[in-house]
Amino acid sequence: MSTASFPEGFVWGVSTSAFQIEGATAADGRRPSIWDTFSADRAEACDHYHRYPEDVRLMKDLGMAAYRFSVSWARILPDGRGKPNAAGLDFYDRLLDELGAAGITAYATLYHWDLPQAVEDLGGWPARDTASLFADYAAAVHERLGDRVDTWFTLNEPWVAAFLGYGSGIHAPGRKSAAEAFRSAHHMLLAHGLGVQALRSAGAAKVGTVLNLSPVMTPAQVSDFGRTLSEEDAEAVARIDALVNRQFLEPMLRGAYPAELLPIVERHGGLGHVHDGDLEAIAQPLDLLGVNYYTPLVVQAQPSEPADPAHPGSEGILFCTIPTAVTAMGWPIVPSCLSHLLGRVSREYPDLDLMVTENGADFVDVVTGDGIHDVERISFIEEHLRAVRAAVEDGARVRGYLVWTLLDNLEWADGYQRKFGLVHVDFATQRRRLKDSALWYRDVIRRNGLTETRPKRPTLETVAARSGVSRATVSRVVNGESSVSPEVRAAVMQAVNELGYVPNLAARSLVTRRTNAIALVLSVPRQGGDALTAAVVQYVTSLLEGAGKQITLMLADTAESHRRIVAHLEARLADGVVLLPPDRADTLAERLSRTGVPIVLLGKPAIASLVPYVDVDNAGGAAAATEHLLALGRRRIGMVCGPTDLITVQDRLAGHRAALQRAGLRPHLALAELTRSSGAAATRRLLGDDPSLDAVFAATDQLAIGALQAAREAGKRVPEDLAVVGFDDIDAASATTPGLTTVRVPVADQALALARLLLSRLEGRHTTSVVLPTRLVVRESA
């Protein structure tokens, strides 16, 4: 079979990071990093600190030419400064010797997010001195290890460390300040420049850095890179590109910040942290730029949109979800964007060598007796390698590809639930097991390339021919039916193992009579749920049809229609059901669940354990809205509550009450139907009961708009006299006067989660209900 080869000398390998795999967090003088503080109970990871010989042996057996690892600053300088810890350096000495003996080239990253807690206590990355401490650390590491490291990378993904760690607070150290995020980003850049100088002075031959780069585009551009944009969308794309990509590329490689970035930084805390000479220090010549790519950033102009906390300065820009295949983390899979990205960087910086230093995916792996058949991961890596090869053929200077990652590990704030590894780790025993993707990657390395045409995966027919039985018999063996004789079962399983066959839905269809049809059942329309219903129809249909399913749209609005839908399922005319439940109690979900056909619900049912569902954190959103009013100094807060037989209203009421209770306050409620006029009437009752009321939280935006009307009628100024907050962020919320502060529910994400949840159930995977986070959108009304 012909091979789509990569250039001679192309580097194949894997990447890891210290905190995610090493463990031994208190061994041999190591002291806490910010991640030990942030996730103190989950840091033993893969015990690579003691098991590194086994892990190096795995890499050697797989044919890896390169291993990119990170050095733990807290292991080398436990206090962040001072005399190096010899025991910590000894570990990396042993690791490098082991790599050298295995013939594996070492690529060392000096900073992969694990700042010593002692340095954070001194001010962390927002403090300028941290950059100088980093340079001292770089020099100390090179002095001991420099003779065996091929290439030094200063930083890994400074955007993530700065803007998720100090901006949104979802990463360590958990600070939430746009000003600190921008200062941290600049000081990381300065640390990079000073670190490069220190490494060069010590004799380092090859020095680079690693950036997470994402093509920024509109939804339409994802399938058409050349699509002409409106002026508003073009500005949105350019602004996010400056915030995420060019904020780091241009200072490092051109010695200047993007012009459109500086006003944003100045608005969020000034530019006093940028000193004369900084940019010259940052712009040190580099030998290699590491590119970490996972998914594109998809945006479009949306005038009423508030800034995302991780992207300060992104006001008026909507971050979009696109209807495409996604990883288990929900990240869209778009391999063509990697070609696009590598081509762009090579065109803009033509003398710079590139290496893909991270690319991989989290999928749900199932451990079976005959292996871990992670076909989704193989497909993901294969398609991205084809994208890399296309970029190389077009002239991109890509010198290698490193998979993220070698081992299933501790995935930062997500703990151990994410599985990116080529090698499965049982964290109870630390046993390593190669997944199919590891063996497949070994073959790619041996060939130095991919097969020119994608090999046809073994089919049911192939197995039947090899074992000399019928397709139906193979299907019965795959499904574990006891009617098959042991001799026939043995022959079929031998063929399965020899061919590397992975049973799929087709193999099971002969027994289970699968139809590849899905019933999308729309019950009584949800109040105010038009946008959500439309999104479900759009995205669920798109994803399920992309997975080879046929969609049957069914309306459940009468008792007769309920009977017809149940009969449809009992006759096995559909493989699964996506059900949009009614606002009030209904027995349809219970009746459908008795048919045995996999069902997923939109919205939490009255009996939550009935079937898996997708919902949003209604209680958490209501609590956030109430806490926002409390933070504004409002103490006499009334709630316009919808009908309390609705599950969503119950949850929102519970969140509101819990927030008030924590503040030592009691709720003031007025019940209403889900209409504007009812919201206005309820607000009038609240104001009549308590004329000194200073805030209203409404269970929906429609009710909140009614509250605004009642406030005007009562001569109340909003927000001076009466602050108003709603829930849902319907289109009208941004058009009210004043603009309505509200809680946004992720409409598209709910629809995508429904489709993914049903596909998982159809594949027989373990599934649990999905509750998505909400986000407070602050506008003028509060």
For the annotated catalytic residues, the residue numbers are: 157, 358
Show the beta-strand stretches assigned E in 541-588.
550-556, 576-580
CA angle in degrees (0–180, nearest 5) for 343-349-350: 75
Secondary structure, 3-state, 291-354:
EECCCCEEEEECCCCCCCCCCCCCCCEEECCCCCCECCCCCECCCHHHHHHHHHHHHHCCCCCE
Cis peptide before 738 (omega within 30 of 0): yes
Q: Which residue has the tokens 């000398």?
A: 9
Neighbours of 329 (CB within 10 A): 15
Cα→Cα distances 369→365, 421, 450, 499, Å: 13, 19, 28, 16
- Using an 8 Å Cβ cutoff, are 338 and 383 in contact? no
Question: What tokens does 501 get?
Answer: 């066959």
- Using an 8 Å Cβ cutoff, are 573 and 517 in contact? yes
Please state, in angstroms and rounded to a whole number, the distance separating the CA atoms of residues 443 and 462: 22
Please state, in angstroms and rounded to a whole number, the distance separating the CA atoms of residues 56 and 423: 12
- Using an 8 Å Cβ cutoff, are 698 and 726 in contact? yes
Question: What tokens does 135 get?
Answer: 């340079």
Q: Supply the angle between the helices 129-145 and 178-201 in degrees, to the nearest 10.
A: 30
Please state, in angstroms and rounded to a whole number, the distance separating the CA atoms of residues 526 and 730: 13
Neighbours of 776 (CB within 10 A): 18
Three-state DSSP class for 639? strand
CA angle in degrees (0–180, nearest 5) for 609-613-615: 120
Please state, in angstroms and rounded to a whole number, the distance separating the CA atoms of residues 680 and 303: 28
Amino acid identity, position 441: Y
H or E, element range at 450: strand 449-451
Please state, in angstroms and rounded to a whole number, the distance separating the CA atoms of residues 750 and 599: 15
Q: Which of 393, 385, 400, 397 is nearest to 349 (CA)?
A: 397
Three-state DSSP class for 407? strand
Neighbours of 674 (CB within 10 A): 18
Please state, in angstroms and rounded to a whole number, the distance separating the CA atoms of residues 246 and 606: 49
686 φ/ψ angles, rounded to the nearest 5 degrees: -60, -45
Helix residue spans in 17-102 (DSSP H): 18-21, 34-38, 48-61, 73-76, 86-102
Neighbours of 521 (CB within 10 A): 27
Please state, in angstroms and rounded to a whole number, the distance separating the CA atoms of residues 719 and 733: 15
- Using an 8 Å Cβ cutoff, are 640 and 706 in contact? yes
Neighbours of 667 (CB within 10 A): 16
Q: Which of 775, 433, 770 is nearest to 611 (CA)?
A: 770
- Using an 8 Å Cβ cutoff, are 381 and 403 in contact? yes
